[in-house]
A = this chain, B = another copy of it.
Amino acid sequence: MTSFGVLGTGVVGRTLSARLAELGSDVMVGARTADSASLEPFGALGVKTGSFADAVAHADVIINATNGSHTLAALESAGPLAGKTLIDVSNELEPVEGGFPKPLASADDSLGQRIQAAFPDLYVVKSLNTMNCTVMADPSSVPGDHVVFLSGDDADAKDRTREVLALMGWRPEQMIDLGGIDTAAAVEMTMSLWMRVTVARGNDAPRFNWAING
């Protein structure tokens, strides 16, 4: 059985670790320190808790659910990463006063690529960052063949990511392999449209995800 280390205690980390624990996986969530108050809710979810380094040491597969602005610092503090698979579900957004958070990705640059460059022995797979975390964790919450993208340089790490996706309910035909980690820029750049569509649909609209018709 795959052991998971989920980095980040926000709503994304909570939703994914609760889902994986509910599905019977061995999950540890990591925070900056093992005694962080942010870890308190996780006991009731059947999720172990620790520091970022504890969660990484525990994990076959690491899930990066930290705020994208803090990801590199979190990984720096997380101890040896070589040979592990990291599924990066995060986005790097800059808050804008009175406006929409600004995604920092551009055609040349993405958080996924920066993580891979900073930790060359870690197998980084960008995935799941294009949707709300309730949809990440339970794709049956949205109808039809909506899609999840995968970007990464290592084929085995992508296979492990596919297994994690399948565990949460993603079907093979929903998984779109875009290629190497350089394709993470493409998925991270879609966050502006995701936010605009969220607003256009209104507060009462159900969760959505992108589908590819054709």
Residues on A facing B (Cβ under 8 Å): 100, 102-104, 106-108, 142-146, 149, 176-179, 183, 185-187, 189-190, 192-193, 195-197, 199-201, 205-214
> How many of these chains are in the complex?
2
Name the residue among A103, A178, A186 with the largest chain B CB count within 10 angstroms.
A186
**Bound-complex Cα distance A195 to B190 (A):** 13
Binding site of A, secondary structure by majority: helix, strand, loop or mixed? mixed
Check B192–A186 contact: CB distance below 8 A. Answer: yes
**Bound-complex Cα distance A210 to B149 (A):** 14
Check B176–A197 contact: CB distance below 8 A. Answer: yes
Check A214–B183 contact: CB distance below 8 A. Answer: no
**Bound-complex Cα distance A106 to B206 (A):** 28
**Bound-complex Cα distance A196 to B189 (A):** 12
